[in-house]
Amino acid sequence: MVANQPEKENPVPAFGLAARDQSGVLSPFNFSRRATGEKDVKFKVIYCGICHSDLHMIKNEWGTSTYPLVPGHEIVGEVTEVGSQVEKFKVGDRVGVGCIVGSCRSCDNCSNSIENYCPKMILTYAGTYHDGTVTYGGYSDVMVCDEHFVVRVPDALPLDAAAPLLCAGITLYSPLRYYGLDKPGIHLGIVGLGGLGHVGVKFAKAMGAKVTVISTSPAKKQEAIERHGADSFLVSRDQEQMKAAMGTLDGIIDTVSAVHPIMPLIGLLKTHGKLVLVGAPEKPLELPVFPLLMGRKIVGGSCIGGMKETQEMLDFAAKHNITADIEVISADYVNTAMQRLEKGDVKYRFVIDVAKTMQA
């Protein structure tokens, strides 16, 4: 069911920025949120990060978008109301919502706290909620969400720089933990030093890993090592460098969402090495099998994380002072930011100052 009049569908007035078609241009949008239910948390949105997937979605590049579309799944703010049965939060708490706002809560995945892999998982925006209404994201002034899908933002983290952790942070933290790449002494490669990669370097270093950043751009070497603390840097287009590094890495996390060859990356792995893909290229990658057989190597994937692990990630980030590198922007700059994001012109995450600049 798509609402004919989004502003009248629910009782709570809301204001945000929406794309109306595949041009991806965002413009002011009046809509509505549901009333705060028994288990719901209502909060004022203060900041919202801009994820590269927002760019894909506003232009329907994955073919799953519904319009009008309010993007945003790196949402932080302050609780203004809680339902009568809410146990974890109170008015005034600092909270966040990431990529999902619902799941079936009863399947094996949900029972094992990996709601992100639930077949009925509900995305924070452009999804269909349990009541049949369309979900709208965080480029908006207010959110209402079931408390199970809300996380607490520790006081030690600044809200603006913590927002991107709700997608970029958990996207890197989860595979580090799951694939056992979080042990001191592990030699880890991270492909790409963008919104995902730079956060991955910080988490891996805090876990005690030795980190090599792998990039097509030699210009990123200085910032990878001096700014983010990587131990070494590898230019993937430099045949000599790649050859010298063959068989040296325990694992690689590949954050690149463009089509690229993975054969050279598999070559960098030690026996039993793991290549984990977290970027989502639009077209299939070519997977050479022979190099996998000859080293009992693994190619795997990972997509965000469950709610328990997302809270664990935020607590770990607070303990180790990990935040995203951000550029805070006003709401009226969003379309320009999207153009810059498309060109890779951001270090490393745009964050919208929703509370101060998004007014109806």
Tens digits of residue pLDDT in 81-96:
999 999 999 999 999 9
Helix, strand, coil % in the chain, rounded to nearest 5 = 30, 25, 45
Across the range 50-68, mean pLDDT stands at: 93
Contact criterion met (CB below 8 Å) for 90 and 79: yes
> Which pLDDT does position 4 carry in this prediction?
57
CA–CA separation, 162 and 48 (whole Å):
10
Q: Where are the alpha helices (DSSP H) in the chain?
A: 6-9, 52-58, 108-111, 159-162, 168-178, 197-206, 221-222, 239-244, 263-268, 290-293, 307-319, 334-342, 354-357
Let me know: does 116 contact 305? Beta carbons within 8 Å.
Answer: yes
Tokens of 279: 């970027």
What pLDDT shows up at residue 129?
95
What is the tens place of the pLDDT at every residue in 186-237? 999 999 998 999 999 999 999 999 999 999 999 999 999 999 999 999 999 9
Task: At 355, give phi and psi (nearest 5°).
Answer: -60, -40
Residue of 190, 243, 250 whose CA lies nearest to 215: 190
**Residue 57 scores a pLDDT above 50:** yes
Tokens of 4: 């004919």
43 strand-pairing partners: 79, 143
Burial code (b: 16+ CB inside 10 Å, e: under 16) for 258-277 equals: eebebebbbbbbeeebbbbb
Q: Is the peptide bond before 348 cis (omega within 30 degrees of 0)?
A: yes
* pLDDT of 21 strictly over 90: yes
CA distances 160 to 45, 47, 93, 204, 327, Å, are 11, 6, 15, 22, 9
Q: Under 8 Å CB-to-CB from 86, ≥6 apart: which residues?
A: 38, 39, 40, 41, 147
One-letter amino acid for residue 180 of the chain: G
Decide if 209 contacts 274 (C-beta within 8 A): no
Interior/surface letters 142-152, b for 16+ CB within 10 angstroms, e for the rest: bbbbbbebbbe
User: In whole angstroms, what is the distance from residue 135 CA to residue 193 CA?
Assistant: 31
> How confident is the model over 29-53, as pLDDT tens digits?
999 999 999 999 999 999 999 999 9
For 127-181, the pLDDT digits (tens) are 999 999 999 999 999 999 999 999 999 999 999 999 999 999 999 999 999 999 9
**CATH classification (class only), 12-166+325-357:** alpha beta
Q: What is the DSSP string of 41-54?
A: EEEEEEEEEE-HHH
Confidence band, pLDDT 50/70/90 cuts, at residue 2: very low
Per-residue buried b or exposed e for 1-23, using 16+ beta carbons within 10 Å of the residue's own CB? eeeeebeebbeeebbbbbbeeee
The model's pTM is 0.94
Domain with CATH 3.90.180.10 in the chain: 12-166+325-357
Structural contact between residues 138 and 334, judged by C-beta atoms closer than 8 angstroms: no
Whether residue 77 contacts residue 98, with contact meaning beta carbons closer than 8 Å, is answered with: no
Query: Which residue's entry shows tokens 């603006």?
Result: 160
The count of C-alpha atoms lying within 13 angstroms of the C-alpha of 28, restricted to the half-sphere facing its C-beta, is 7
pLDDT confidence tier of residue 22, bands split at 50, 70 and 90: very high
d(C-alpha 240, C-alpha 150), whole Å? 48
> For residue 1, is pLDDT > 80?
no
At position 189, the amino acid (one-letter code) is: G
For position 3, what pLDDT does the model report?
44
pLDDT of residue 8: 78
CATH of domain 168-301: 3.40.50.720
Distance between CA atoms of residues 105 and 111, nearest Å: 7
Residues of the chain with CATH 3.40.50.720: 168-301
Summarised one tens digit per residue, pLDDT across range 304-342 is: 999 999 999 999 999 999 999 999 999 999 999 999 999
Tell me which amino acid residue 332 is: D
**How far is residue 306's CA from residue 115's CA, in Å, rounded to a whole number?**
5
